[in-house]
Amino acid sequence: MDFTDRTVIVTGGTRGIGKAVALAFARQGARVAVIYGSDDQSAADMQVELETGGAPFLVLKGDVASPEAVDHVIGSVLQEWQRVDVLVNNAGIIRDNMLMFQPMADWNRVLDVNLKGTYLCSKAVLKHMVANRFGRIVNMVSPSGITGRAGQTNYAASKGAVIAFTKSLAREVARIGIGVNCVCPGVIATPMTDQLDPDSLAEMRRMIPMGRVGTPREVADAVLFLASDLATYITGQVLIVDGGLI
């Protein structure tokens, strides 16, 4: 899968799955822009790794839920490289609570980052992809968005909505040569799953037919596949990478 001369944007690209995705694209020759929200230390670490790799890159700070921030970071990428070929909407947060105890602020923030962020970033790059008659958008979702999960009404709602968004946008732009798909990682060893308590994690492992959590690299491979020339007839789909969980 060769991404030489392709410009790739990965939101939430300095940690966990996003980081693995960004580094994987860089290894395949892409120019990679990673966008992060607030973790400056992870961003600095990512900068060092990308510098070591030698490919052109950008590390940009911006809240994907903010229209102004999205316009600014996407504008920076276009100013540097004049095109966007691949967008990976990976930025996402969890704020788990049973619904009865879920504050509105948590509901709003999860929907804002996970769903509105996907909308804002996709819209910001879309006209450039339309102009080039080429684009790949890959949206990261979750098994919660397909089966639901107790304690994640907000998160599951956001990811279920991203699936519906993906299928709709795919139908809008398929004829222009733009593919829009989802990757649905299961339980993956990342900072997000580090927040889960050990009992929950152990219970999850028991439920996974492969008997282990996945690695960020295994998810990144799926993202690169959907963005590559190996997936030119695939659009509007959800590729589940979960060891058989759902």
Partner 1 sequence: METIVSDTNRLRTFLKQMIVETLKLEDITAEKIDGDAPLFKEGLGLDSIDALELVVAVEKHFNVIIEDENVGKEAFASVNVLAGFIQKMFSGVSKSRMRLSG
Nearest in space to 49 (alpha carbons), one of 37, 36, 34, 64: 34
- With DSSP H G I counted as helix, E B as strand and the rest as coil, what are the percentages for the chain, rounded to 5? 55, 15, 30
- 127 binds partner 1 per the rule CB under 8 A: yes
The footprint of partner 1 on residues 130-159 (CB under 8 A) is: 130-131
CA geometry: angle at 68 spanning 137 and 122, to 5°? Answer: 10
Q: Which strands, in side-by-side order, build the sheet including 135-140?
A: 57-61, 31-36, 7-11, 86-89, 135-140, 178-185, 238-241
Nearest in space to 226 (alpha carbons), one of 241, 212, 216: 241
* Count of residues of this chain found to bind partner 1 when the rule CB under 8 A is applied: 7
The footprint of partner 1 on residues 193-232 (CB under 8 A) is: none
Tell the smallest beta-carbon distance from residue 125 to partner 1 (Å): 12
Taking the least distance from each CB to partner 1, the nearer of 128 and 159 is 128
Applying CB under 8 A, the span of 21-29, 124-132, 193-201, 211-219 interacting with partner 1 comes to 124-132
The footprint of partner 1 on residues 157-176 (CB under 8 A) is: 172-173, 175-176
Taking the least distance from each CB to partner 1, the nearer of 176 and 246 is 176
Q: Which of 36, 119, 155, 233 is catalytic?
A: 155
Here the tokens at position 72 are 């600014």
Tell the smallest beta-carbon distance from residue 38 to partner 1 (Å): 30
- 82 binds partner 1 per the rule CB under 8 A: no
Applying CB under 8 A, the span of 84-92, 125-133, 188-196, 230-238 interacting with partner 1 comes to 125-133
Indicate if 155 belongs to the active site: yes
- 78 binds partner 1 per the rule CB under 8 A: no
Alpha helices by DSSP H, listed for the chain, are 16-27, 40-53, 67-81, 104-111, 117-132, 144-147, 153-173, 191-194, 198-207, 216-227
Q: Which residues bind partner 1 (CB under 8 A)?
A: 127, 130-131, 172-173, 175-176
Q: Active-site positions?
A: 155
